[in-house]
Structure 1
Amino acid sequence: MLENTIAAIGPLDESAMRAARERQSRLTKPVGSLGALEELAVRLAGLAGDCPPPLPEPAAVAIFAGDHGVHAQQVTPWPQEVTAQMIGNFLAGGAVVNAFARQAGASVTVVDVGVATPLAGGVPADPAPEGATGAGLPRPRAEKAGPPRLVAANVRPGTRDMTVTAALTRDEARSAVEIGARVADDLIDGGARILLTGDMGIGNTTPSAALIAAFTGVDPAETTGRGTGVDDATYDRKVSVVRAALSRHRPDPTDPLGTLAAVGGLEHAALAGLILAAAARRTPVLLDGVIAVSAALAAAAFAPAAVGAMVAGHCSAEPGARVALRHLGLDPLIDLGLRLGEGTGALLALPVVTGAVRVLHEVATFDSAGVAEKGPGNGVEGT
């Protein structure tokens, strides 16, 4: 499946991009006045092979969840059980991602690709913090796209400690990649016109930092951040842990499957698969934060043309995110200092993507509106 997916990924359609640029030049606005939105719309036309491209509606968020053996190295103060508890919160509709998804009208799919704590009855009971939705309070209204759903696809109960041995075998990494691809196909077959990446996994910023360092060659001190807000001692330990894992395994960035197996997480591998399958289906993927962009580096290593399907939703406060986005050549749509994950930043950026495409669909041309184009003594002034 992986090889077939990669083989189906092609470059952006140049003729559709030319048509989009030409249409942008005839719309009732000064050329370039919408800044980055204009080039975004052009790229999406190239991805779709059509101008205007389809509106990115409906949207689907896929949250891949997994645990990490490197948690044993005390890289985070949060207990590993929180991963499973937050899955319960997602399914109950009480997390930030749910609030933003309701606002955007996006569906939420949670995929257990490697959670260590068993999900009794499919979801832990009453998981939300005291006083939060799901802990005895009324649940919020269901998303327009329906309530969140859980996909059980656990490859193994968390990765191994990457400072001791490879986090995954190659077969386990491949299984996770292909699970992500199947989820993408399922969502697209179900009508989704844009996919948004989400993630959940206590400790997952540590393998993210390792992946970014491995694929970009940047020193771990520059790719490692404070995650959930760790203190100086924990941060220093994180950097040392990342450095030790890279020194042990020496992952080859031209071997993305081997790199994912050595220092990645099951959610990273699944996210890479989601991106690859979306690119093969010429469907845009709106990337969230540092976990998503570290997975995007793996997807780009598998198939460089997959970058054409990627849209950087926001720039995470994690320093590795900027390193990864720079390597991918992607500019984030928004920068609000977010570092939550779950898909929250991608959801906040979704209206920006929709607006960029809607301009090509709905804004009149100078001819059709009877508006004079710019010329000596006339034209439309912009600011």
Structure 2
Amino acid sequence: MMMQLLQQTIQRIQPTNNTMKEKAKERIDSLSKPPSSLGKLESLAIQLAGITGELYPKLDNKVIIVCAADHGVCEEGVTSNPQNVTFLQTLNFPKGVTGVCAIAKITNAKIVTVDVGVKEDIPLDAKVLMKKIKHGTDNMAKGPAMIREEAIQSIEVGIEIATAEIAKGANVLGTGEMGIGNTTPSAAILSVLRGCHPQEVTGFGAGLGAGGIEHKVAIIQKAIEINKPNRHDALDILAKVGGLEIGAMAGSILAAAANRKPVVIDGFISTIAALIAYELEPKVQDYIIPSHASEEPGAKIAAELLGVEPMLHMNMRLGEGSGAALAFPILDAACSMMSNMATLAETMALVEEK
């Protein structure tokens, strides 16, 4: 039944474990170091303890779910990139040759590629999960990007994929996407949620069309005016000015939280997906780990709206989940600090033994 999976997943999301967070803080404060001297590594370790309910969490089975889809609004010339790049890059993820794949290799993170709405049909032998809802969204400058049922379906695809990976043993997820033109719906969603003019949140994306930033802003403004998305209904916003891969990433985030697993979000588009998930269930915020501060101007605003602070400032704006892959070693470092660093008392005991 439509929406049943979404409702069930939302109902399963519980607050993180405060008792375990306190225990983690006590241990960190007892380690042989000046107070707070490991900064964000300490707060990250506390967050991970709260998410997993374990003082010494293990994040040794990393999975980045890359959701691919096209956007009808590309008809309006909002990007200089040909739309078939979505199709071509979707084929490249399983080959391990994209940016996120290269970075993911350093922590042996698995890349799972999902066709949730690529315009062209993916060959059956491409090692891509076939979950296509439609062949790209409709042009949001002329009407809704999709109907409400399709928006729900996109979220449920993300839930299904993430839940299946967790069932196989994944203990930390990353969000990734591929979709030429997807900074346009992302800026539209953010403009609606923040109640601001698209000018404030619209950037260059992967390459501007001939009309430049002014044309892109005008198209976003037109889409919002035509569709009148309801600021207080995340599903309405997603359906009218969103994207299928944005919905799928929101679903992955909800599934991670429902299963008490940390989820590392990438940059601008991933943060917009996280905002959709947050609007559906605010408790997801505690399960989200932001990776990097994207160069897109809307990314900082989106992170502030979500109430998270990215760890890395690397001037990146690739997408694909590349920032999430780059942040994974920092999570490993936080876990290693908890497991391998001696407390002051243990250090003193070792000295006395000698």
TM tier, shorter chain?
over 0.9
Q: Which of 241, 262, 286 lines up with 2:264 in the alignment?
A: 286
Q: Which of 135, 146, 160 lines up with 1:182 in the alignment?
A: 160
Partner residue in 2 for 1:213:
191
Question: In 2, are the aligned partners of 1:66 and 1:113 still within 8 Å (CA)?
Answer: yes
Aligned equivalents of 1:194, 1:253: Cα separation in 2? 31
* 1:14 matched to 2:1: no
Question: In 1, are the aligned partners of 2:162 and 2:256 still within 8 Å (CA)?
Answer: yes
- CA drift at 1:237: 0.9
- CA drift at 1:78: 1.1
Partner residue in 2 for 1:376:
none
Aligned equivalents of 1:55, 1:256: Cα separation in 2? 33
Q: Which of 64, 67, 73 lines up with 2:67 in the alignment?
A: 64
Partner residue in 2 for 1:199:
177
* 1:46 matched to 2:50: yes
Cα deviation code 1:327-359 (max 9, x no counterpart):
111111101110111111111111111111221
Change (3 A) 1:253 1:40: farther
* 1:315 matched to 2:293: yes
Aligned equivalents of 1:333, 1:353: Cα separation in 2? 11
Change (3 A) 1:231 1:113: closer
Question: In 2, are the aligned partners of 1:215 and 1:298 still within 8 Å (CA)?
Answer: no
Q: What letter matches 2:214 in structure 1? A: D
- CA drift at 1:229: 3.4
Aligned equivalents of 1:306, 1:332: Cα separation in 2? 16
Bigger proportion of residues as helix: 2
Aligned equivalents of 1:122, 1:244: Cα separation in 2? 40
Q: Which of 218, 240, 255 lines up with 2:218 in the alignment?
A: 240
* 1:27 matched to 2:47: no
Aligned equivalents of 1:88, 1:63: Cα separation in 2? 12
Partner residue in 2 for 1:55:
58
Partner SS, residue 370 of structure 1:
helix
Aligned equivalents of 1:122, 1:218: Cα separation in 2? 44
- CA drift at 1:219: 2.5
* 1:295 matched to 2:273: yes
* 1:154 matched to 2:132: yes
Q: Which of 32, 36, 40 lines up with 1:36 in the alignment?
A: 40
Partner SS, residue 176 of structure 2:
strand
Question: In 1, are the aligned partners of 2:191 and 2:198 still within 8 Å (CA)?
Answer: yes
Question: In 2, are the aligned partners of 1:70 and 1:203 still within 8 Å (CA)?
Answer: yes
Partner SS, residue 27 of structure 2:
helix
Change (3 A) 1:216 1:357: farther
Question: In 1, are the aligned partners of 2:80 and 2:209 still within 8 Å (CA)?
Answer: no
Partner residue in 2 for 1:251:
229
* 1:80 matched to 2:83: yes
- Greater mean alpha carbon deviation, residues 167-176 or residues 89-98: 89-98
Gaps spanning 5+ residues in structure 1: where? 124-148, 373-383
Aligned equivalents of 1:205, 1:225: Cα separation in 2? 8
- CA drift at 1:122: 4.2
Question: In 2, are the aligned partners of 1:206 and 1:238 still within 8 Å (CA)?
Answer: yes
Cα deviation code 1:97-120 (max 9, x no counterpart):
111111220001100000001223
Question: In 2, are the aligned partners of 1:60 and 1:108 still within 8 Å (CA)?
Answer: yes
- CA drift at 1:198: 0.7
Aligned equivalents of 1:232, 1:211: Cα separation in 2? 23
Partner residue in 2 for 1:97:
100
> How many equivalent pairs are there?
346
Question: In 1, are the aligned partners of 2:80 and 2:210 still within 8 Å (CA)?
Answer: no
Cα deviation code 1:11-37 (max 9, x no counterpart):
121111111111111011111001111
Cα deviation code 1:158-217 (max 9, x no counterpart):
000111111011110111100000111011111111101110001011001111112222
Aligned equivalents of 1:199, 1:92: Cα separation in 2? 16
Partner residue in 1 for 2:148:
170
Cα deviation code 1:32-70 (max 9, x no counterpart):
001111111111111112323x22221001000000000
Cα deviation code 1:225-246 (max 9, x no counterpart):
1011326832111111111111
Aligned equivalents of 2:58, 2:231: Cα separation in 1? 35
Give me the TM-score of the superposition, normalised by structure 2: 0.95
Give me the TM-score of the superposition, normalised by structure 1: 0.88
Percent identity for Structure 1 against Structure 2: 39
- Greater mean alpha carbon deviation, residues 1-10 or residues 37-46: 37-46
- CA drift at 1:281: 0.4
